[in-house]
Amino acid sequence: AQSVAQPEDQVNVAEGNPLTVKCTYSVSGNPYLFWYVQYPNRGLQFLLKYITGDNLVKGSYGFEAEFNKSQTSFHLKKPSALVSDSALYFCAVNNAGNMLTFGGGTRLMVKP
Amino acid sequence: DGGITQSPKYLFRKEGQNVTLSCEQNLNHDAMYWYRQDPGQGLRLIYYSQIVNDFQKGDIAEGYSVSREKKESFPLTVTSAQKNPTAFYLCASSRGQPLPYEQYFGPGTRLTVT
């Protein structure tokens, strides 16, 4: 069985500061990892994915994520947070066809 | 949300009534999915379909039914057997196997049953 953990329910960061949203996973075999963002009362938007290759993956809106196989982590990062980045972020893992298993989500609050 | 439409955005029903949520995509994707999202929780898979006229149960299929008669459409029926149907329902689609393609989501339908 595959699983994803997002250990922080909420992350608070000041605008302009770097942000990190944590994600750890558990799968058998090679993990395929995804980050999505959800704004209030909206669907999820795809940010980025790791399939293979470079451990640092760049995605939409200036976000990036670092795959760390030894720590089974895939943390989402951004060098300088914007107030508009405030949203709910989901990490997901896939190693069984196209089935995604989602973490519980982390609410990011960026304060001016 | 591009390419996937869900209707209606808000839906209200009385207990004991079946209700059907619409999901249409124009992305030419083979695979489609239905998820349920409850407040403060992640997404849970209800049903998925990898190809027309075929679908599989997800983690929480009890009380739900689906059909996939057309590639573009994957309606979800919430039956009266679903014990706690009030939730936010999300439809998604993706290219088919074998690669792990990202899923694209619709804007969601918020169902309230009283």
What's the pLDDT score for residue A98?
Answer: 66
Give the one of B6, B40, B42 whose C-beta lies nearest to A90's C-beta: B42
Each residue's pLDDT tens digit, A33-81: 999 999 988 889 999 999 888 999 999 999 999 999 999 999 999 999 9
Q: Is the pLDDT reported for residue B1 higher than 90? A: no
Report how far residue A57's alpha carbon sits from residue A67's, in angstroms, rounded to the nearest whole number. 8
Query: In this structure, are residues B70 and B51 in contact, taking their beta carbons and an 8 Å threshold?
Result: no
**Mean of the pLDDT values across residues B92-104?**
84
Each residue's pLDDT tens digit, B23-32: 999 999 999 9
Asked if A100 reaches chain B (Cβ–Cβ under 8 Å), the answer is yes
Report how far residue B12's alpha carbon sits from residue A40's, in angstroms, rounded to the nearest whole number. 19
Q: Nearest Cα to B35, choosing from B94, B99, B109?
A: B109
Omega into A112 within 30° of 0, i.e. cis?
A: no
What's the pLDDT score for residue B101?
Answer: 84
User: Could you write out the three-class secondary structure of A44-64?
Assistant: EEEEEEECCCCCEEECHHHCE
* Average pLDDT along chain A: 93
- Residue contact A44–B105, C-beta within 8 A: yes
- Residue contact A46–B97, C-beta within 8 A: no
Residue B39 — pLDDT band, cuts 50, 70, 90?
confident
* Average pLDDT along chain B: 92
**Mean of the pLDDT values across residues A5-28?**
96
Tokens of A21: 């949203």
**Mean of the pLDDT values across residues B3-19?**
93
How far apart are the CA of B55 and the nearest CA of chain A, in angstroms?
13
What's the pLDDT score for residue B41?
Answer: 79
What does the buried/exposed string (b/e) look like for A48-69 if buried means 16 or more CB atoms within 10 Å of the residue's CB? bbbeeeeeebebeeebbbbbee
Mutate which: B102, B109, B112, vs A, most A CBs within 10 A:
B102
What's the pLDDT score for residue B29?
Answer: 94
* CA B79 vs CA A47, B6, B47, B85, B111: distances in Å: 34, 18, 14, 9, 12
What's the pLDDT score for residue A48?
Answer: 96
Chain B stretch 36-65, residues whose beta carbon is closer than 8 A to a beta carbon of chain A:
40-43, 45, 48, 50
What's the pLDDT score for residue A96?
Answer: 64
How far apart are the CA of A77 and the nearest CA of chain B, in angstroms?
19
